[in-house]
Amino acid sequence: MDLLLLVVSALLFPGLVFLTSLALFSEWVYRKLTARMQNRMGPSYTGPMGVMQPFADLIKLLFAKEVKRQRYAAIGLAEIGLIISISSIVASLLLFPISPLRFAAPYDIIVLIYFYAVWHTIGIIIAVLAYPNPFTVTGLSRLIAITVVVEPAVFISLLIPVLLASNIGCAPQYSILCTAAWSWRLWLESPASFIAMALGLISVLIASQAKLGLKPFDIPEAEQELIAGHITEYSGTMLALYNLSHDIKLAFTALMVVYLFLGGPYPYRHLSTAGILLLIVKYLISLMILTVIRSSFGRLRIDQGLNIVAKYSLVPSIIGLMVSLIETFIL
């Protein structure tokens, strides 16, 4: 294994630098689109069409704003938690075909779950608990309640393309790399496969909306009730890291949907013009769906939110998984 290539993949492309840029661009897209849907201008002045505004916000929080100490705060711990949540997502990008150095293994869907769900969530919980406050405690309890329903829905829906792709013979079995390369064929493979993929796509989009804390599932933050919920005490560098972590999760989730459900750039190659264009278009479409859902709904109450996720994400994903199991083992 080329160590230099590994470091470049982790730090530059598709690692920290690229994913941060993509995350900030994605934030601009969803802020601009939401603003236009609500008849506002959105970011307009910094850079062409305001595209540099999220970057300017990040720089302002990092360099101009102070970190306010709260009486019982453990700033170092909060930073470590947020850094864990960022780096776990960036590291799991090396399982996808977009990386110049790609890791693959049989059953590496488990590795993705380990980084994307376990480490990321642990990081966020460490960061939130480092700032004890009635509002953060309430926000965290809501966050955990949502996570308990959302994570099974996300991963049952991710299992659908992985299972179907391994069924049509891609190798290594049950790996992200082969699923990403073959997922476009699954839509055309058989009617059962199409139904399972459609249910998985719907389920993963709704679950991602809840996992990202976008409306109508921004219940842990709930401005009007909890000030800012689990991030009430964050300021300066800490808020910058939290926002970055959120945007990186948004960009990664959209990329994951593009590769595992919409087929990435395939059947074209990554380095061909058609492949790059297809990848960008699919990425923007998945980002647009998340934004449109966000702009179209008001916030739900916590029990309504949990019921909606269970009804429209968990149940479709279970049905989709059953259809794909029937397709794999019986048909």
Partner 1 sequence: MGTVILDPFTVTLALTSVMLLLMIVIYAIVLSIRRARTSQFSEEMYIGGEGEDILSLKVPSVLALYWGIIRRSWRRAFDILRGAVHSGVLNEWYSYMNIWLSLLILLSIIAIVMSVRIR
Q: Which residues bind partner 1 (CB under 8 A)?
A: 1-2, 5-7, 10-11, 15-16, 62-63, 65-71, 75, 79-80, 83-84, 86-88, 90-92, 94-95, 100-108, 110-111, 114-115, 119, 133-135, 137-138, 140-142, 144-145, 148, 172, 177, 227, 232-233, 236-237, 241, 302-303, 306-307, 325, 329
Least distance (Å) from partner 1 to the CB of residue 95?
7
CB count within 10 Å of CB 118 equals: 12
Least distance (Å) from partner 1 to the CB of residue 92?
7
d(CA 198, CA 183): 12
**Amino acid at the residue 84:** I
Least distance (Å) from partner 1 to the CB of residue 106?
7
* Spatial CA neighbour of 220 closest among 212, 207, 211, 229: 229
Q: Based on CB atoms, which residue is closest to partner 1, 86 or 201?
A: 86
Q: Based on CB atoms, which residue is closest to partner 1, 115 or 184?
A: 115
Q: Based on CB atoms, which residue is closest to partner 1, 1 or 188?
A: 1
**Amino acid at the residue 231:** I
Least distance (Å) from partner 1 to the CB of residue 205?
21
Q: Based on CB atoms, which residue is closest to partner 1, 64 or 188?
A: 64
d(CA 145, CA 326): 32
Least distance (Å) from partner 1 to the CB of residue 29?
24
* Spatial CA neighbour of 249 closest among 59, 120, 119: 120
Q: Based on CB atoms, which residue is closest to partner 1, 15 or 263?
A: 15
Q: Are 322 and 159 in contact (CB under 8 A)?
A: no
In the numeric block, which tokens belong to residue 119?
A: 């480490």
| CB contact set of 296 (below 8 Å; sequence gap of 6+) | 37
Q: Based on CB atoms, which residue is closest to partner 1, 53 or 138?
A: 138
Q: Are 58 and 240 in contact (CB under 8 A)?
A: yes
Least distance (Å) from partner 1 to the CB of residue 149?
8
